Amino acid sequence: AVLLLNKMITEFRGKIFATNGKRADFDATVEKCREAGGSIATPRNPGENDAILYFVKYFNTYAYLGIKQSLIPGKFQLLNGTPLSYTNWYSNEPSGQGEEECVEMYTDGTWNDKRCNNNRLIVCQF
């Protein structure tokens, strides 16, 4: 199933990231990655962030990450509820004051909180 999804693959310490070059909103990205047998890309360290950034730069477009606002506005966590141990926020982000529940990666690798209904590059991890 992985190969069906993949136009492109990057890898960091055994964690595989893949994209099909298509875009979707946050919920559709989560679903597409699940269908492919993986999950939405979630960087846990600078190396994984760079592996995702490769696609973001290649397609010159932003990607949603597997990070969502917690019940506390402006505080973010992994989709399973785990607190973030690694972050790479752009200067003065997150700035949505609770209105922007999802997180996107910019083309410089930094993160921004964003509404979840934009179309962003689908990047999955396996």
Q: How far apart are CA 123 and CA 65, in angstroms?
A: 8
What are the b/e assignments for 25-49, b being 16+ CB within 10 Å? Answer: bbebbbebbeebebbbbbbbeeebb
pTM given for the model: 0.92
Backbone phi, psi, residue 56, to 5°: -60, -40
DSSP 8-class letter at 83: B
In the chain, the domains with their CATH numbers are: 15-125 (3.10.100.10)
- Exposed/middle/buried for 110, CB within 10 Å: 0-12, 13-18, 19+? middle
Q: How far apart are CA 78 and CA 86, in angstroms?
A: 10
Tens-binned pLDDT, residue by residue, of the chain (126 aa): 455 554 689 999 999 999 999 999 999 999 999 999 999 999 999 999 999 999 999 999 999 999 999 999 899 999 999 999 999 999 999 999 899 999 999 999 999 999 999 999 999 999
Q: Which residues contact 1 (CB under 8 A, 6 or more apart)?
A: 36, 37
